[in-house]
Amino acid sequence: MKTKIVISTILATILLGSALNANALHDSVAAKASQAIANPSVHGEAAAQAQVEEAADKEAFLAKQKEQTFAQDAKKEKAQQVRNSVNKELQHHSQKAPNAPQEVTEAFKSVITAMQALNAKKTDEAKQSLQKASTLFTKALKDNPSLGLVPVADDVQVDTFEGDAKVTKQLVDTAQKLLKNYDTQAARAILLPMKDEMRVSTEYLPMKIYPLAIKQAQKELDKGDQKRAMSTLLTALDTMVIKTVTVPVSLLTAQDLITVAAKLDKSKKKEATDLLNVAEDELKKGVLLGYVKKHQKEYKIIQQQIKDIKKEIQGKNRVEQMYDTIKTKFNSLLKEIRKDIK
């Protein structure tokens, strides 16, 4: 299984650059203050004022650095949160995905080995690998004649979009204004990186077609036509079916935040409310990024449930049943989203 996690590094680069420049800027201010004090034409009051300004600047820079450190820590925490959510979804996918018969998996590997052998002009090795593949495919179909599409490989890609709902709205609004003015390329540059999703693409072997193509490649190889045999194997690969499920990362993150909030002691009202606020913001971001059109009704119900829980926390705090209800709703929504196969 291939996993690709793409996380925006723009914010991190800006923060890092600011942190590196802070000392240099402070040194520049300090140098000017020293020059002012050393200058005989400058009165004591002016020199003292320069020192005061230098101290103020130093304090400001230190405060800025603390702010940047906090932002970087928050970024790391967010990245870890995303990884946790994605890993849970991957585990769910692995548990629910149908298992391919061992013979089919081994046969497919043998076909790939045969193609590599043909590419290296090792005809005998290619023949052996194709014979092994054909035998295994025959056995699999004999054991289960109804075999149709059999999953043989997964490809997982994750793109995360940094920024809260407010930032997301600002970018979307800006893109809309640019489009109204027909500045399409500028709008495109803004919109293209705005992906916050996990895509799981599963490749399936069509067992009614693929094994027949392998037998055909065997015949061509037996006739000494390596070029045609390779062409047949490549064409067989084109018969594979790819199905992709896209799950919004913001939804996965919101679900995890609510799960964490539900486990907190009731005395930790602020901590629970903070987690629910972030979960609410993640859902808003999902709406703004266009992931909810097909399931808008379910999203609205979950958003209202979050508001109800936040209100109850500040009151009698009888939230056990409410948490159970919203977790059930999340599971139901995710189940529907996973059915949206492309």
- The per-residue pLDDT for range 35-63, each reduced to its tens digit, is 444 454 445 555 556 555 666 666 666 56
Structural contact between residues 280 and 265, judged by C-beta atoms closer than 8 angstroms: no
> Residue 134 has what pLDDT?
94
> Residue 33 has what pLDDT?
43
> Among the ranges 27-31, 92-96, 156-160, which has the highest mean pLDDT value?
156-160
> Residue 159 has what pLDDT?
87
- The per-residue pLDDT for range 281-299, each reduced to its tens digit, is 999 999 999 988 888 888 8
Burial class (CB in 10 A: 0-12, 13-18, 19+), 313: buried
> Residue 47 has what pLDDT?
52
* Mean pLDDT, the chain, integer: 79
Percent over 70 (pLDDT), the chain: 77
Query: What are the Cα distances from residue 112, in Å, to 40, 117, 171, 234?
Result: 83, 9, 45, 10
> Residue 8 has what pLDDT?
33
Segment 1-23 shows an average pLDDT of 34
> Residue 13 has what pLDDT?
28
Segment 218-244 shows an average pLDDT of 91
- The per-residue pLDDT for range 150-166, each reduced to its tens digit, is 998 888 888 888 888 99
> Residue 66 has what pLDDT?
54
Identity (one letter) of the amino acid at 241? Answer: V
> Among the ranges 60-69, 76-85, 122-131, which has the highest mean pLDDT value?
122-131
Residue 30 has pLDDT above 60, yes or no: no
> Residue 21 has what pLDDT?
39
C-alpha angle 19-22-25 in degrees, rounded to nearest 5: 155
Residue 144 has pLDDT above 60, yes or no: yes
Sign of CA dihedral 150, 151, 153, 157: positive
What pTM value is reported for the model?
0.68
> Residue 293 has what pLDDT?
82
> Residue 155 has what pLDDT?
86
Residue 22 has pLDDT above 60, yes or no: no
Percent over 90 (pLDDT), the chain: 44
Q: Label the pairing between strands 2-7 and 149-160.
A: parallel
- Choice among 66-75, 96-105, 118-127 with the minimum mean pLDDT: 66-75
Report the side by side order of strands in the sheet with 197-206: 2-7, 149-160, 197-206, 241-248
Segment 185-204 shows an average pLDDT of 90
Residue 67 has pLDDT above 90, yes or no: no
